[in-house]
A and B are shown apart, each in its own frame.
Chain A
Amino acid sequence: MAVCVAVIAKENYPLYIKTSNADNELKYSFTVHTSLDVVEEKISSVGKNANDLRELYLGLLYPTEDYKVYGYVTNTKVKFVLVVESSNTSLRDNEIRSMFRKLHNAFVDMQCNPFHSPGEKISSRSFEKTVATMMVPESHS
């Protein structure tokens, strides 16, 4: 499963970054940050192409030697980025999709929490829990 889950605000600053391994946080941060280039490009190219699917799921952003980076953008331009190890070939596109869905649901629930103020870093426990189910070490199904 994912080695890094990130939520990026619409202004492109990180709301939440969780990595499976704390040592790699910096590296993944850079990975996530650079993936925003592709996300932005994909968002801005929407509409130019008539047969665009206009899904929230952006698909594989770019593959590197070791990781695959997937993107998802909500209508409110909040971006979710998942980093998956390239060696993990068992993950299908559908599974990635459902992971994003789960993440989105958790995010929306958290947004509707009155104690959360929009645009701030995410520190919700239930959100944390949802993310934990997707991360590598905690559960590897």
Chain B
Amino acid sequence: MSWASEFPDVLLCRPTGLVVLTGLDTTYNAVHTAIWDSFCNNRRPDRVPLQFRVLGADHEYPKCKTKRTSYEWYMPRGVLKTGWMSKHLQQVPAVVVCFFDLDWDEVMWKERQMECATKVQIVRDSLSGRSTRVCVVLIQKNAPLPPGEDVVAAERAASLCSSCELSAKSLFVLPLTDHLLGYTIRLENAFYELSQSYYHTEARRVKSHKEFLNKTTHQLLYVRHQFKIAFFNELKQDSHTALKHYKQAYGHMLELRMHDTNILEVKTIGGYINYKICRLSFQHNSPLDAISQFRKHIDYFKSRAGNPELAFENCAWMSKQFQVFGDLFDEAIKLGLTAIQTQHPGFYYQQAASHATVRKQLVEALKKNDLHSPSPNPLELLDKLDFFGQRPWRQNHQSIDPPDALKERDGILALQVQELKVDHSWLIIPLLSNAMSQFKKYKSARMKRYLMVQMGFEYCHAKDYSKALTLLSRVTFDYRQERWWLLLTNILSTELKCSFLTAKVQDYVTTSLELIGQHTLNSIEDKTRIQMNLIRVMSGNRPEAEPDCAEECTEKARQLWKVALATSDPQIITIEMHNIVPFVECKTQFTQSSFTTNQEITIQVFLRTTCQFPIRFSKLSILLNKQHYHGKCMLNDGNGITNDNTIAEGGDLYLVPGVIKTHSFSFVPDQSDVGQTLEITSVALELGNEGSICAILLWPRGGGDAVATPLSQQQISHRFPVKPITDPTDWRSIQVQASTKLVSRPAQLEVTVAHCSPCLLQEVYQMTVNICNKEDTPIKGVEFDLRMKSGQSEDSKTHLSVALDCKSGAQDSKSCSLKINFGDIAVGESITRDIFLQCDDVGIRNFVAQVSYDIEQSVNTHAITCRCEKSLIVDIDVVKPFDVNLKMNSLLFAPVACIHSDEPFLIQAEMSCLSPWTIEILNTELNLSQSVRFTDDEVESQLKGLSVESDECVNECQCLVAYPTVSPSINLGSYVITWRRSSAGTTIPPVTTEVPLPVANIELVPVLVELLTPSCGYIQKVFPVTYEIHNRTPYSQELEFSMDNSDNFMFAGHKHVRILFKIASITIAMFLIYFFRFISECFRSQRSTCTTTLFRCSLVTWLFLGSMSTSSATLTAWMVRSRTCYPLTSSSARVEKKAAVEPPSSLFEIHFWSICILRFVFFCK
């Protein structure tokens, strides 16, 4: 009954004032066309809300009715005429504009003026009786002068006005200049003002009727007049006043008495007014007003359904009301209104859909009666009604009882027949889909899903089964997830029906699997029926029809099934079980969390069905991540699925409901899979025959419960993972274990790596590997593998070797890992090997020693060769064996910072042993560079053959002399120690450690003083002392030296000499010293004591050469050399610089004085 509830376009549109333009020839005149275009094209919202039409000047406008002077005898025949709104929107103009080409300087002014006046008069005549405003626009070629300047223009304008009976305000000029649009807009605004005044007068005119009305007979007119006033105000764009009057109209309408004959009219008009009110309320940004008005409206009319035979009409009306309100709401939101989750257009669309559904149900009830359209058709005049919402067969009738009962009957019948032709599903589905998108927008996922379900049902009803199926299958997952079984069952049942009717085998089987399980809440009979059907399908037969399917659809489905099942190719349907809640559950477990390679791997499969009666599967297979085991994890039921349920029990895969069936698969692992994880990727259970039709039920991983227990209910604490005991009768206690580790068989070997840690730096370190076979059988292919632990850098400073040849082995194979093949070892035997390690760096080394071997084993009569492994970690600490401290000393063992060429000095090597082991020093050697030499001809290591224990310290001293050189520092060479740890056998090569000697700074000394004394002196005997003074400068110098007196001795010789000191000459100063007494105390250690004397020598003049100036200024000392070669005694001289640097001059004097310390050893006699 859509016509009664339709909203006419004139109601839905936004009313705008109508302006008629006459005198424009838009077909032939280009100027006029341009003017017209500027009015009607590109009407953006910022332009005034007017509607323009071009009509001829002589256009006939609707006749104005004669004014009624009294309403006394007037009986209104309806509320609102069907044509009224469109009349005022499209036919009766508010303003008529006469365009006229006329310039002020027109030559034929009089004639043209007459012509214009005539045209205006024609327009006036055709508008007879209406108060439509008329105005004239002169189209002029010239731009107007500023107002007041053009006297002719003013004069002619006045005369034109008077001849056309126009007010001056209604005459406009449109110059044809570049700014046409600007002028148009100004004209438009002027027209707009005129139209507003027109509509204002109209509204007042309608209002003025009010006083003639009385409440008893003119109730309808109250509504009508208020509506008209409101509408005129709307045209005037005064929406607030309009709203006020619409509300009044609505109020008057509620006062109308309603009865069966006029209920449709009241509701129709009520709907219109309500629409206007809501629309304007939204427009005024007061959505709450709109909503409450709508609620009131609905509440009022909900219970007023009218004739029960036409109840569908009411539903249609309600549905429309909701839909239109939803549209309004939605539009308001698009314009910036914000809605909330509990108040948005979706609810209205949904409600509209629900009313439409009720309407559909009512119509379905009608269908049962056999209805025939009566003739003549009482609805013939349906499109030509005078008033909105009236019955076509009794228009204008306003009394309570229908005028003709028979006609009324026919009319209702005709309405019913017409209603039957409507396809309601296609009305409902768009509403649902609208609602759906709204709910989705407002975060109501469940509501959206519900609407999808409803839509699915509606599609199903509309016999679009495949669409229904797609829709429904998209939501089942969520219902399953949230465990709303009742809802799920309902949806699935519909899905099953749809899949049956479309003969979709896959969907049919999948849905069946779920519907016969324990969680779905359909009746036992249903389950039985579905299971029977499932078995039928799986054996290649057509299933029985689902209940309440239309006969013709069932027939069609039969044909489809025939085609679907007749294909010669085998049909394999794969169903992922984790997506559904099936009637058969599966759990698998590896019996252990890890298996050794000599064990058989066992997988247990538990199957349970929860259907009504036993079912036979055809094949069970487990898919592992290693494909080569697949063949071993397969179980075939030879019997095949049959309709006959009485087949002999005890078949392999004959599952009785509620009874857990256990299968185990055992197989021997492949040796190559050692160390890897074996996982069950999926479990496949086949139903049906692979040759024809077959469903593969696929569980990912190891299967599990059909419904997972919610997390918060899991009581097992994570702290104490006590493995529950699997009870094969209690399904819940069965745990899924879908992966296992394959580990190698534990080795029965004894492996030791013996060594004496710590290892010394650079030493060839011996380690002894011992492997002992503790197995029951001989082992083969024993391999020993030693490598640095992963993570440690493979440095080049660690070398491992199987140094069979001790001399070269350690040096040759420089690698961090090593592999030894031990071959076969008999039972109980052991093999020992030495290996050697050399490290060039200190620190801890971690080695992993791994022994692997093959052993013959038999597992369940399978003879297999197992590879076993044993590994151990060897930590070796590498330490420095000793510390060598090399020092340069003067001959008096005083450390020196620099040496002087040609003057001997000592190199002292101090070696302190750091190793915990005793070190045997085989040899030491000084490898001198070319700039130094030994002072002695024959040099022999003083440490050779010594054994040094931990924390001991040995010293060696060699006397060296440097060749003259110009470079400021020289490389002395290196110190080489050859050693080995004393515990090592002679087979171990000794280690050579080379330590670089310090770099010596060479200083130039101008004078060298050498002291020559005998090794010892005797009291009261003459002790000859000779000083040799060498001139090292390339010049002659003046030299002065003196010998001071001492209490301890007297001497003979020059006390004070001053000589010329020639180039490269040696001056010898000889003294004979006679000691008076012991000058030294005697120490127990028989070490040194000393006495002092003063030998002073100074260069009086020193020829200075520019190039030597810097070095000479820093010159500080000279050496006194003793010839005495007693190892622990030596004489030394300390020279102190007395004078600092003199001011730079070409000649200057440097004074030296020296204290000569003589050391003597006295032998106790």
Interface of A toward B, CB cutoff 8 Å = 9-14, 17, 25-26, 29-30, 33-34, 36-38, 41, 61-62, 64-65, 118-119
Decide yes or no whether B539 CB sits under 8 A from chain A.
Answer: no
With A10-B712, A61-B342, A118-B713 as given contacts, are A34 and B450 in contact (CB-CB < 8 Å)?
Answer: yes
Residues of A within 8 Å of B439, CB to CB, are 37
Distance in angstroms from A86 CB to nearest chain B CB is 9
Instruction: Tell whether A29 pairs with B444 under 8 Å between CB atoms, given A62-B342, A64-B347.
Output: no
With A61-B342, A64-B347 already in contact, the answer to whether A33 and B712 are too (CB < 8 A) is: no
Contact indicator B710/A9 (Cβ below 8 Å): yes
- Please state if B482 and A30 are interface contacts (CB–CB under 8 Å): no
A38 contacts which chain B residues (CB < 8 A)?
341-342, 444
- Residue of B351, B483, B713 near A64 (CB, 8 A) is B351
- The reply to whether A65 and B354 contact each other, CB–CB distance below 8 Å, is yes
A36 to B484, alpha carbons, bound, how many Å? 12
**Which one of B347, B354, B482, B710 lies within 8 Å of A62 (CB-CB)?**
B347
Contact partner of A37 among B347, B447, B490, CB < 8 A?
B447
**Interchain nearest-CB distance for B460 vs A (Å):** 15
- B445 at interface, CB cutoff 8 A: yes
Question: Which residue of A has the minimal Cβ distance to B318?
Answer: A65
Q: Is the CB of B450 within 8 A of A33?
A: yes
Closest B-chain residue to A66, C-beta based? B354
| A26 engages B490 (CB within 8 Å) | yes
Q: How far is the CA of A64 from the CA of B445 in the complex (A)?
A: 17
- Say yes or no: A34-B446 contact (C-beta < 8 A), given A41-B341, A119-B713: yes
Known A-B contacts A30-B450, A37-B446, A119-B713; A11 and B342 likewise in contact (beta carbons under 8 Å): no
Write the nearest CB–CB distance from B458 to chain A, whole angstroms.
14
Q: Contact at B484–A29, with CB atoms within 8 Å? A: yes
27 residue pairs bridging A and B, Cβ less than 8 Å apart: A9-B710, A10-B712, A13-B484, A17-B486, A26-B487, A26-B490, A29-B484, A29-B486, A29-B487, A33-B446, A33-B482, A33-B484, A34-B444, A36-B446, A37-B445, A37-B447, A38-B444, A41-B444, A62-B342, A64-B347, A65-B298, A65-B351, A65-B354, A119-B709, A119-B710, A119-B712, A119-B713
Q: Which of B298, B453, B483 has the most CB of A within 10 A?
A: B483
Chain B contact residue count (CB 8 A cutoff): 27
Give chain A's interface secondary structure class: mixed
Is B1021 part of the binding interface, using a Cβ–Cβ cutoff of 8 Å? no
A17 to chain B: closest CB distance in Å? Answer: 8
Most buried by B among A11, A25, A29, A118: A11
In chain B, residues 369-421, which have Cβ atoms closer than 8 Å to a Cβ of chain A?
Answer: none
Digitize B973-984: 1 where CB-to-A-CB distance is under 8 Å, 0 elsewhere. 000000000000
Known: A13-B483, A29-B486. A37 touches B444 (CB 8 A): yes
**Smallest CB–CB gap between B223 and chain A, Å?**
27
Contact residues, B1016-1032 vs A (CB, 8 A): none
Q: How far apart are the CA atoms of A41 and B445 in the complex, in Å?
A: 11
- The chain B residue sitting closest to A11, CB to CB, is B710
3 tightest A-B CB contacts, nearest first: A13-B483, A37-B444, A34-B447
B141 at the A interface (CB under 8 A) = no
Closest to B295 in A: A63
B357 to chain A, nearest CB (A): 11
Interface pair B482/A12, CB less than 8 Å apart: yes
- Nearest A-chain residue to B489, judged by Cβ: A26
B484 and A14 form a contact (CB under 8 A): yes
A17→B486 CA distance, assembly (Å): 10
Contacts of B341 in A (CB 8 A): 37-38, 41
Choose among B341, B443, B445 the residue with the greatest number of A CB atoms under 10 Å from its CB: B341
For B487, list chain A residues within 8 Å (CB): 26, 29-30, 33
Residue of chain A at shortest CB distance from B303: A87
Chain A hits for B453, CB < 8 A = 30
Closest to A76 in B: B712
B486 CB contacts on chain A under 8 angstroms: 14, 17, 25-26, 29
Whether B484 lies near A37 (C-beta < 8 A) is no
CA distance A62 to B339 in the complex (A): 14
Chain B contacts of A62 at CB under 8 A? 342, 347
The answer for the CA separation of A12 and B347 in the assembled complex, in Å, is 23
Q: Given A12-B482, A34-B444, 11 more contacts at CB 8 Å?
A: A9-B710, A10-B710, A11-B482, A13-B710, A17-B486, A29-B486, A34-B450, A37-B341, A37-B445, A38-B444, A64-B347
Within 8 A of A (CB), among B1036-1090: none
Name which residue of chain B comes closest to A77, CB basis: B712
**Which residues of chain B have C-beta atoms less than 8 A from A118's C-beta?**
713
Which positions 446-473 of chain B face chain A at CB distance < 8 Å? Answer: 446-447, 450, 453
The interface residues of chain B lying within 8 Å CB-to-CB of A17 are 486
Chain A's closest residue to B340 (CB) is A41
Chain B residue at minimal CB-CB distance from A119:
B713
In the bound complex, residues from chain A placing their C-beta under 8 Å from that of B447 are: 34, 37
Alpha-carbon distance A61/B343, docked complex (angstroms): 11
Closest to B711 in A: A11
Interface residues of B in 319-374 (CB under 8 A from A): 341-342, 347, 350-351, 354
Give chain B residues whose Cβ lies under 8 Å from the Cβ of A37: 341, 439, 443-447
Smallest CB separation, A27 vs chain B (Å): 10
Report chain B residues within 8 Å CB of A12.
482
B80 to chain A, nearest CB (A): 28
Q: Cα distance A26–B450 when bound, in Å?
A: 12
Residues of chain A contacted by B711 (CB below 8 angstroms)? 11
CB distance from A18 to the nearest CB of B (A): 12
Chain A, Cβ-Cβ closest to B486: A29
Q: Which residue of B lies closest to A117 (CB)?
A: B713
Q: Which residues of B (185-235) have their CB < 8 Å from a CB of A? A: none
CA distance A30 to B456 in the complex (A): 15
Determine whether the beta carbon of A13 is less than 8 Å from that of B482: yes
A37 to B342, CA, bound (A): 10
Which residues of B have CB within 8 Å of A34? 444, 446-447, 450
Chain A contacts for B354, CB-based, 8 A = 65
- Chain B hits for A25, CB < 8 A: 486
Residues facing A in B589-635 (CB within 8 A) are none
Which of B443, B483, B710 contacts A41 (CB under 8 A)? B443
Contacts of A30 in B (CB 8 A): 450, 453, 487
Contact residues in B for A10 (Cβ distance below 8 Å): 710, 712
Separation of A141 and B483 alpha carbons in the complex (Å) = 35
Complex CA gap A29/B483 in Å reads 12
* Minimum distance in angstroms from A34 CB to a CB of chain B: 4
The chain B residue with its CB closest to the CB of A39 is B446
In the assembled complex, the Cα of A25 lies from the Cα of B713 at a distance in Å of: 28
B 473-490 to A, binary, CB cutoff 8 A, 1 in contact else 0: 000000000111011001
Chain B, Cβ-Cβ closest to A36: B446
**Complex Cα–Cα for A101 and B484 (A):** 25
* A64-B302 Cα distance, complex, nearest whole Å: 14
B483: A residues at CB distance < 8 A = 11, 13-14
In the assembled complex, which residues on chain B have CB atoms less than 8 Å from the CB atom of A61?
342
Q: How far does the Cβ of B249 sit from chain A's closest Cβ, in whole Å?
A: 25
Q: Max chain A CB contacts within 10 Å: which of B298, B354, B444?
A: B444
By a CB distance below 8 angstroms, the chain B residues around A36 are: 446
Q: What's the Cα separation between A64 and B710 when bound, in Å?
A: 32
CB distance from B313 to the nearest CB of A (A): 18
Chain A residues in 8 Å Cβ range of B490: 26
B351 nearest in chain A by CB position: A65
Which B residues from 682 to 716 make CB contacts under 8 A with A? 709-713
In the complex, A119 Cα to B302 Cα: how many Å? Answer: 42
Residues of chain A with a CB closer than 8 A to B712's CB? 10-11, 119
Among residues 78 to 125 in chain B, which have CB atoms less than 8 Å away from a CB atom of chain A? Answer: none
What CA separation (Å) do A62 and B447 show in the bound complex? 12
| Distance to closest chain A CB from B471 (angstroms) | 15
B713 neighbours in A (Cβ, 8 Å): 118-119
Closest chain A CB from B321 CB (angstroms): 11
User: Which residues from chain A contact B444 at a C-beta distance below 8 Å?
Assistant: 34, 37-38, 41
Kindly list chain B residues whose C-beta atoms are within 8 Å of the C-beta of A9.
710
A64 to B486, CA, bound (A): 22
Give the nearest-CB partner of B439 in chain A.
Answer: A37
Interface string of B412-449 (1 = CB under 8 A from A): 00000000000000000000000000010001111100
